[in-house]
Amino acid sequence: MCSLTIPVASSEILSLENGEQVLLTGKLYTARDAAHKRLIELIDTNNPPPVDLKGQFLYYTGPTPPKPGEVIGSAGPTTSSRMDGYTPKLIAASGLRGIIGKGNRGFAVIEALKKHGCVYFAATGGAGALLGKCVTKARVVCYEDLGPEAIYELEVVDFPAVVAIDVRGGNMYVDGPEEWRERRVGGRG
């Protein structure tokens, strides 16, 4: 298990291989459907983004509200493919280095990850209580009117994730099922 501190050096990003389990520490910015729509509208109209994502990590999550005295509620990943229509443009315009979500990505996203040197990580969907515990600070950066879909800046410590798609396009959502499908058929599973 390798620990990564965000911002992660380019050399480290390049060396990550799909399937590798990592623990992330540092800053994550959250954004899901509605925030993506707004970010892309800004890019399309040549307006500056409300947050500088260069070299940063984006996390697809819409957390539950914190109880009094808590930092955040439950905060696991949401399905990434809903953002596929926005992601290539966002990566190209922002210089993101990492994206965290769940589930496979489309062809255009994978090409953008490869071209711009960005890694796609999977966090465990449905483990929001556990992942929320890794968050030590949370504040709304913008789009507060979107409620759970606002952009938050989170500080995380030892946030567990898997390298799902690396910068060479190696894809755990393809390689993993292929490997285990064969094992079952071969009777080795």
Partner 1 sequence: MKTISFNRIVVAVRELCMRAACGLPPDVLDGLKSALRAEQSPQGKAALAHCIDNAAIAASERVPICQDTGVAVFFVTVGSECSLTGGALSDAINEGCRRGYRDGYLRSSIVNDPLFDRKNTGDNTPALIHYDLVEGDTLTITLLPKGGGSENMSALRMLKPADGKDGIVDFVVETVANAGGNPCPPVIVGVGIGGTADTASLLAKRALLRKIGSHHPEPRYRELEEEILRKVNTTGNGPQGLGGLVTALAVHVETFPCHIASLPVAVNLNCHAARRATIEL
Binding site for partner 1 (CB under 8 A): 19, 21, 34, 61-67, 70, 73-76, 78-79, 81, 102-104, 122, 124-133, 146-149, 160, 162, 164, 172-173, 175-185, 189
Answer yes or no: 116 catalytic: no
How does DSSP assign the chain, residue by residue? Answer: -EEEESSPPHHHHHH--TT-EEEEEEEEEE--HHHHHHHHHHHHTTPPPSS--TT-EEE---PPPPPTT-S-S-----BGGGGTTTHHHHHHHH---EEEEBS---HHHHHHHHHHT-EEEE--TT-HHHHHTTEEEEEEEE-GGGGGGSEEEEEEEEEEEEEEE-TT--BHHHHHHHHHHHHHHHT--
Whole-number Cα distances in Å, 27 to 7, 118, 188: 8, 16, 42
Min. distance of Cβ 10 from partner 1 in angstroms? Answer: 25
Query: For partner 1, which is the closer residue by CB, 82 or 93?
Result: 82
Min. distance of Cβ 57 from partner 1 in angstroms? Answer: 18
User: From the candidates 36, 97, 102, 105, which is the catalytic residue?
Assistant: 36
Query: For partner 1, which is the closer residue by CB, 57 or 159?
Result: 159
Query: For partner 1, which is the closer residue by CB, 94 or 119?
Result: 119
Q: Are 156 and 24 in contact (CB under 8 A)?
A: yes
| Residues involved in catalysis | 36
